[in-house]
Structure 1
């Protein structure tokens, strides 16, 4: 069973979870910047505290960034509610019908057909699945394009709801994960994330070599990064 403790660093409380793992993992969770460290079960609290202190500047930076990040209002999946696909705003039209659920987009309207009595969770699941399919169609051509340009190969990719990142890469398995919310953003930002994560196949860290590669492949990457990080994130209690 995981062991849970806390560390106080001035006005910052760090939740410590001891698990059957080999290395320390530090996370700062939106929307409020809650801090959590996952640590090996046998590591003493003093060692974990020293690690947390060494990362204090980064923790405060992440907290400031997350607390300043604009967030979408909670969605209730009601008529005339705003939803987004590829950066375009749609007004939701909920239609109850005793037929298989589906979702259609027409001009500025997003029509969600659900069975009578469907709750918000069911409506959300239908829209999320539509976002997932949109991304699964849009990502492969981008990967194929950049595989040729970079001379790398992506073994597989997945689309999932992610807590703190727009994407992540596992260089060892050559797999990439994409945040489901990317389907809500303009397509250029999806391509930026594809390039960013594929560059990690050439350079796993964010060092000067990584920056040089990003400058080479996508000279405007810092613009896309900064704008994407200012766009609204979904309203989620990731710290729970």
Structure 2
């Protein structure tokens, strides 16, 4: 509900939400606090500002994850994917191998790098195997033996996906 005093997670770290009325709609991070100023105190505006914060964080986190995961495919002529992000309701990422596009769910910005890396690796593995066959999961396990634990760790953050 994004109320004053709520805990928000950004890149796996907890922040206290400080919501107050003001002259403009804005959101910023300082120390371990996220300050949300609202001229328009509606749930829709709160959601919009929260998404804006996550999106700006994703612009840093997702390319950094791609840079960490790409070397795991050295020698395989993996394309340099176009990286996108958007809020998705039912998946953490998607890959369009023929178009060379990887899309990350903006909500991943609440999670630690290790979990973001798991999703990024999952999507990059679709360039090798477009389905979820045993070969796909073999490709995941070879590159990230602990991917199942990382996937399980995502559940801690699910209540914070508004």
TM-score bucket of the superposed structures, by smaller chain: 0.7 to 0.9
* Bigger relative contact order, structure 1 or 2 (CA pairs below 8 A, ≥6 apart): 2
TM-score if structure 2 supplies the norm length? 0.86
* Residue aligning to 2:147: 221
Segments of 5+ residues of structure 2 without an aligned counterpart are none
Segments of 5+ residues of structure 1 without an aligned counterpart are 1-74
Deviations 1:173-221 (A, max 9, x none): 1111111221112221001101110011111111121122111111111
TM-score if structure 1 supplies the norm length? 0.60
Q: Which secondary structure does the structure 1 equivalent of 2:23 belong to?
A: coil
Q: Which secondary structure does the structure 2 equivalent of 1:111 belong to?
A: strand
Matched, 1:189 2:115: yes
Q: Is the 8 A contact 2:97 2:127 kept in 1?
A: yes
Alpha-carbon distance in 1 for matches of 2:134, 2:59: 31
Matched, 1:105 2:30: yes
Work out the number of aligned pairs and report it. Answer: 159
* Residue aligning to 1:138: 61
Backbone CA RMSD of aligned residues: 2.0
> Which structure features the higher share of helix residues?
2
* Residue aligning to 2:126: 200
Alpha-carbon distance in 2 for matches of 1:121, 1:81: 17
Based on CA coordinates, which of the two structures has the bigger radius of gyration?
A: 1
